[in-house]
Amino acid sequence: MSEQTIELTPTRPYLARAIYEWICDNKLTPYLLVDATQPHTDVPQQFVKDGQIVLNIVPHAVHQLLITNDAITFSARFGGVSKNIYVPIQAVLGLYARENGQGLFFDPEEYANVTPAENVIEPEVQESTETTPSKKKPTLRILD
């Protein structure tokens, strides 16, 4: 019988989703601690201190929050300006409640031996429809 090494996926995205839900269910404010120096991380650089940023991801402050196995994405307003945020899951250092500090902080070395995805999907910048004219007007057709 040959011994095979089973390569497991990291637990970070699963735990992040669970802790986020727990924080929100308890009507607390979820804060996301991010290593802003990680490749492909797109956060507002003017708020980065010592290579890290803390983002308030309470549901009413963010739009289209998505926590996948690869990244956390959402849009939010910073200084009145809307910005799309992209945080690769390996850049997530912790998720905790502002009010009491309870949550999870992750081992930064968890992804040290994980092979990065070859096709990193970064969010497309969505431009306002006011500045981008539509290429084709929608039309209705009556079918008999």
Instruction: Please identify, in words, the CATH class of the domain defined by 11-98.
Output: mainly beta
CB atoms within 10 A of CB 35: 20
The closest of 19, 88, 90 to 57, measured between CA atoms, is: 19
Query: Do the strands 71-78 and 92-97 form a parallel or antiparallel pair, or are they unpaired?
Result: unpaired
Predicted TM-score (pTM) of the model is: 0.75
Dihedral pair phi/psi, residue 21, rounded to 5°: -65, -45
pLDDT per residue rounded down to tens, the chain (144 residues): 556 777 788 899 999 999 999 999 999 999 999 999 999 999 999 999 999 999 999 999 999 999 999 999 999 999 889 999 999 999 999 999 999 999 999 988 888 776 655 444 444 444 444 444 445 555 555 665
What amino acid is encoded at 15 in this protein? Answer: L
Q: Which residues contact 83 (CB under 8 A, 6 or more apart)?
A: 44, 75, 76, 77
